[in-house]
Chain A
């Protein structure tokens, strides 16, 4: 059974810092990996999707990498802003079915 772990569970940084969120998964036979953002009391917004054959994806100040063989992904946020404060969730979609398994999330606070 796939297990997804995110470290750290919470992170507080001053505005302007570059930061890295980590995600690890136990079964490397994945179809893709997706990073989501969730604001308090809101739904999930997809940020980046990395297909299993890809190594990284970029969108604006966000860059996500994937190392399938080691079961790891990182989300890099450059020049963080208070508006980046949210919970970031990593999820992997397995090859066997279509299930998306989520990590517990990293709660990010960017202080002005």
Chain B
């Protein structure tokens, strides 16, 4: 198994541009989570899905953020328009509800200038 695959690994964009982050979960994992990590706030849950359905998006900071999971093998996190304060590392993690624990992707380091 290739694990949780995120792309791109690094993204540098200008303020105001649209950014799309991608995640491919581990096959058979029916939970998918998007986290954001910053020095100031640590790891924060943005949104999570169960069986492709968004369950809790209360962590999404504002309407500029949106996430989709059109099928069991793909999810996107979109920021439009991006702002410098969105600069962070964004992690995708997946889980199956049988107590094996989360598996994290390598993350996308986003820099908005």
Residues of A within 8 Å of B, CB-based: how many? 24
User: Which residues of the other chain, A, contact B61 by a CB distance below 8 angstroms?
Assistant: none
Interface of B is mostly: strand
User: Which residues of the other chain, A, contact B70 by a CB distance below 8 angstroms?
Assistant: none
Distance A89 CA – B44 CA, assembled complex (angstroms): 13
User: Which residues of the other chain, A, contact B91 by a CB distance below 8 angstroms?
Assistant: 43-44
In the bound complex, do residue A46 and residue B42 qualify as a contact, i.e. CB atoms below 8 Å apart?
Answer: no
In the bound complex, do residue A105 and residue B42 qualify as a contact, i.e. CB atoms below 8 Å apart?
Answer: yes
User: Which residues of the other chain, B, contact A61 by a CB distance below 8 angstroms?
Assistant: none
Nearest-neighbor residue (CB-CB) of B45 within chain A: A99
Nearest chain B CB to A4's CB is how many angstroms away? 10
Residues of B within 8 Å of A, CB-based: how many? 23
A residues touching B (Cβ–Cβ < 8 Å)? 31-32, 34, 36, 41-46, 49, 51, 89, 91, 93, 97-105
Given contacts A91-B43, A101-B45, 18 further A-B contacts (CB under 8 A): A32-B99, A36-B104, A43-B91, A43-B106, A43-B107, A44-B93, A46-B101, A46-B104, A49-B99, A49-B101, A93-B102, A97-B55, A97-B56, A98-B55, A99-B45, A100-B33, A102-B43, A103-B42
B residues touching A (Cβ–Cβ < 8 Å)? 31, 33, 42-43, 45, 48, 50, 55-56, 91, 93, 95, 97, 99-107, 109
